[in-house]
């Protein structure tokens, strides 16, 4: 059985003091929860305070991005070693917003994933099609391409990766992905992983759903056979709603 993983992507929200308060609330809410891996991913500026707030709890700390080089002239970037030194264990890579606004490509996703793995971080690698791509019937081609390119050349380390499927078309468009639609793509991703690493390995890799998961739909989504948790956006900014999603994965 794959352990569910629920990760909160805070995006560009919360100051350091606000982060500590939110994590304190999350700790209280999920202290008795077992069988679900819980991760919070605050902005870089919050990580030191967030690490202290997570210490001694069942809440792990993630970051929202990582550079592929160990150091150098990369203004504004953060290395895997810097994240590790702060107590970070997970890192989101290739989020749709990074691809849309900041020039992320399949190639840089692969480079960042390799750097994260080399440092012992767990990469949460994001894939997903836009509204235009889905309407053009390109969902399968896009998702398969992003998955294979993002994980290219990883060898046995593929087993250490978490995949997050983001239906970009269901975010802010008024459209909603049904549990069945989400499951269809998750099953496609798992078949793609099987082709890459073998069926046995593919069965162990966790695939999160990242399309507006909320307390109201979390249980039904995570009941699908290939949905192994959630990458949570807005609902992760409030302790009670985030905890409700975590509990839905039990």
Whether pLDDT at 176 is above 80: no
In the structure, what pLDDT confidence band is assigned to residue 165 with cuts at 50, 70 and 90?
A: very high
Average pLDDT over residues 181-187: 97
Give the chain's mean pLDDT: 96
Convert the pLDDT of each residue in 72-115 to its tens digit.
999 999 999 999 999 999 999 999 999 999 999 999 999 999 99
pLDDT of residue 171: 76
Alpha-carbon distance of 214 to 202, in angstroms, equals 27
Q: Is 201 helix (H, G, I), strand (E, B) or coil?
A: helix
Q: Tell me the per-residue pLDDT of 7-39, one tens digit each, with 9 for 90 and over.
A: 999 999 999 999 999 999 999 999 999 999 999
Q: Is the pLDDT of residue 154 over 90?
A: yes
pLDDT at 173 over 80: no
What digits encode the pLDDT tens for the residues 197-247? 999 999 999 999 998 899 999 999 999 999 999 999 999 999 999 999 999
Instruction: For residue 95, indicate whether it is catalytic.
Output: yes
Is residue 62 within a helix (H) or strand (E), and if so which, with residue range? strand 59-63
Give the CA distances from residue 112 to residues 61, 85, 137, 212, 237, in Å, rounded to whole numbers and listed in that order.
18, 17, 29, 25, 26
> Is position 186 annotated as part of the catalytic site?
no
pLDDT band at 174 (very low <50, low <70, confident <90, very high): low
Residue 146 has pLDDT above 90, yes or no: yes
Is the per-residue pLDDT at 156 higher than 80? yes
Ordered by where they begin, the domains of the chain are: 1-37+44-68+75-93+109-122 (3.20.20.70), 141-157+189-206 (no CATH)
Q: What is the mean pLDDT of residues 120-131?
A: 97
Sign of the dihedral through C-alpha 246, 186, 195, 112: negative
Tell me the per-residue pLDDT of 41-78, one tens digit each, with 9 for 90 and over. Answer: 999 999 999 999 999 999 999 999 999 999 999 999 99
Cα 89 to Cα 138: distance, rounded to the nearest angstrom:
34
Phi, psi of 132, rounded to the nearest 5 degrees: -60, -40
Question: Over 70: is that where the pLDDT of 172 sits?
Answer: no
Residue 170 pLDDT = 82
Which of 29, 37, 129, 166 is flagged as catalytic? Answer: 166
Percent of the chain with pLDDT over 90: 95
Catalytic residue among 29, 37, 90, 95: 95
């Amino acid at each position: 059985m794959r352990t569910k993983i629920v990760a909160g992507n805070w995006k560009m929200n919360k100051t350091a003091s606000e982060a500590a308060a939110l994590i304190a609330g999350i700790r209280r809410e999920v202290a008795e929860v077992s069988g679900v891996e819980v991760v919070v991913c605050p902005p870089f500026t919050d990580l030191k305070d967030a690490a202290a707030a997570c210490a001694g709890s069942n809440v792990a700390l993630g970051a929202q991005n990582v550079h592929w080089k160990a150091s150098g002239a990369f203004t504004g970037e953060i290395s895997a070693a810097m994240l590790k030194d702060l107590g970070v264990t997970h890192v989101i890579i290739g989020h749709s917003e990074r691809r849309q606004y900041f020039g992320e490509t399949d190639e840089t996703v692969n480079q960042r994933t390799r750097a994260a793995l080399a440092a012992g971080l767990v990469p949460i690698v994001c894939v997903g099609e836009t509204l235009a791509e889905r309407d053009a019937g390109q969902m399968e081609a896009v998702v398969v391409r992003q998955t294979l390119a993002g994980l290219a050349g990883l060898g046995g380390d593929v087993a250490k990766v978490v995949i997050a499927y983001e239906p970009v078309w269901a975010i802010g468009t008024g459209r909603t992905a049904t549990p069945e639609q989400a499951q269809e793509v998750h099953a496609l991703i798992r078949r793609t992983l099987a082709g890459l690493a073998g069926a046995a390995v593919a069965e162990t890799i966790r695939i999160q759903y990242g399309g507006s998961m909320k307390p109201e739909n979390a249980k039904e989504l995570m009941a699908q056979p290939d949905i192994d948790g959630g990458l949570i956006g807005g609902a992760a900014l409030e302790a009670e709603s985030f905890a409700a999603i975590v509990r839905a994965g039990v």
